[in-house]
Amino acid sequence: MRKRVVITGIGGICGLGTDAASIWNEMKAGRSAIGQVVGADLHQLKVQVGSEIRTLPEHGLERRRLVTMDRFSLLAIIAAKEAMRQSGLVVGQDNTYRFGATVGVGVCGWEAIEENYRALLLNGKNRADIFSVPKVMPGAAAGQVSMEFGLRGPVFGVTSACSSANHAIASAVDQIRLGRADVMLTGGTDAPLVWGIMKAWEALRVLSPDTCRPFSADRQGLVMGEGAGMAVLESYEHAVARGATILGEIAGVGISADASDIVAPTVEGPEAAMRFCLADAGFNPEDVDYLNAHGTGTKANDQIETAAIKRAFGDHAYKLSVSSTKSMHGHALGASGALEMIACIMAIRDGVVPPTANYREPDPDCDLDVTPNVARERPVRTALSNAFAFGGTNAVLAFKAV
């Protein structure tokens, strides 16, 4: 019999707030954290808006640790600490090898990369920072999280662009289902609000100059954001045995690839991932109450995702509550799926569907119920979270109440 995997702690940080509760309260209120970026030098860029964390909370890390990590790793640790506190778990010799971590990241340590470029190319330095490699490697966040808590079970980074967090969470579910771990700390993190990354995205001509309006006919593109989301996953038996408070269950995962184009998505790939997720969870389409859409705010992506939802859910697509919380926390790349996981768990807990903010005009090609601007109270027993990425890598998660 397959092991059930439940969530006993969550943590988050992004432009909306520095903990999961604050993030959720802002989501429910439909408040967007998108605005002028002030903490990074974005000179000469046409687009200078993003969803930015203006002030970091107290994290308790010593300087000797901080000098070894980039911002994306620090954000992961901050979110992980919150998730661990809520879970009530203590790591010791009896469980250290049964407790692992998987952390998704999209663009990894670009803050450190740019600091080195400035030092070497502009300021005439003759060597890079000694910790450059461990700062920028994609697996750094997972390694730093494992060191912070003494986790000696399965620990690795996951990178698949904008699907990274969902793939990391799916990988953590697999470790528990396969019996390699009893507990996994998992999620995603990214800090892309740096000049080089923003300049690269600007070249793709998909950035909005003002704000993110998913599914609205006048949408102009996506908006970059930074942040991290982390969750403590346990086997159901492990959680019950220790008397843990269970926040929800990861009922299923669905993974597929478009195998088509490096940037242009297909309808078939996302449709397949949603179908696989429903099957893995044992859900019929009509069992799903809420779908947190990938919803980037670009013309093509929102239309294609709408078409894929219709094909995966049939007539029930029009009864689903759908929303894109990227309209509020921006597209945080490797962190997006983890922040959207928080939205799904809290929607189930509170019976509230967070809105798609900044919505202004209906689009006949995006004609589902996208919960425009105002949160909606309704029973949410189950929720799906979509993540579709460049490279055609798709990952969908299913959550349910316990």
Label residue 30 by pLDDT band (50, 70, 90).
very high
Label residue 43 by pLDDT band (50, 70, 90).
confident
Answer for the pair 290, 347: CB distance below 8 angstroms, yes or no. yes
88 and 118 co-located in one domain: yes
- The pLDDT assigned to 1 comes to 83
Span 143-189, pLDDT tens digits: 999 999 999 999 999 999 999 999 999 999 999 999 999 999 999 99
What mean pLDDT is predicted for residues 36-44? 92
What mean pLDDT is predicted for residues 354-362? 98
17 and 121 co-located in one domain: yes
The answer to whether position 248 is within a domain reads no
Report how far apart, in Å, the C-alpha atoms of 224 and of each of 48, 192, 297 are: 10, 7, 11
The answer to whether position 307 is within a domain reads yes
277 and 232 co-located in one domain: no
Answer for the pair 76, 13: CB distance below 8 angstroms, yes or no. no
Catalytic residues: 162, 294, 331
In percent, the amount of the chain with pLDDT more than 90 equals 98
139 and 172 co-located in one domain: yes
Q: Residue 6 corresponds to which tokens in the numbers above? A: 């439940």
Span 388-401, pLDDT tens digits: 999 999 999 999 99
The answer to whether position 299 is within a domain reads yes
318: amino acid identity, one letter: Y
Non-local (6+) Cβ contacts of 306 within 8 A are: 215, 365, 366, 367, 368
Answer for the pair 246, 20: CB distance below 8 angstroms, yes or no. no
Span 71-120, pLDDT tens digits: 999 999 999 999 999 999 999 999 999 999 999 999 989 999 999 999 99
Asked if pLDDT for residue 234 goes beyond 90, the answer is yes
173 and 289 co-located in one domain: no
141 and 257 co-located in one domain: no
Q: How high does pLDDT run on average in the chain?
A: 97
Q: What is the CATH number of the domain that holds 45?
A: 3.40.47.10
Q: Residue 243 corresponds to which tokens in the numbers above? A: 């008397």
Task: Pick the last residue of a domain from 213, 241, 269.
Answer: 241
Angle among Cα 344, 140, 100 to the nearest 5 degrees reads 60
- The pLDDT assigned to 125 comes to 94
Span 248-287, pLDDT tens digits: 999 999 999 999 999 999 999 999 999 999 999 999 999 9
Answer for the pair 193, 37: CB distance below 8 angstroms, yes or no. yes
What is the number of structural domains in the chain? 2
188 and 294 co-located in one domain: no
Answer for the pair 361, 219: CB distance below 8 angstroms, yes or no. no
The answer to whether position 246 is within a domain reads no
In percent, the amount of the chain with pLDDT more than 70 equals 100
DSSP letter for each residue of 186-222: EEEEE---SHHHHHHHHHTT-B-SS---TT-TT---B
Span 276-326, pLDDT tens digits: 999 999 999 999 999 999 999 999 999 999 999 999 999 999 999 999 999
Asked if pLDDT for residue 193 goes beyond 90, the answer is yes
The answer to whether position 370 is within a domain reads yes
The full 3-state SS of 85-149, as one line of letters, equals HHHCCCCCCCCHHHEEEEEEECCCCHHHHHHHHHHHHHCCCCCCCCCHHHHHCCCHHHHHHHHHH
The answer to whether position 152 is within a domain reads yes
69 and 123 co-located in one domain: yes
Non-local (6+) Cβ contacts of 382 within 8 A are: 251, 281, 283, 287, 288, 289, 290, 348, 398, 399, 400, 401
264 and 215 co-located in one domain: no
211 and 305 co-located in one domain: no
Site of tokens 């768990």: 345
Domain of 385?
253-400
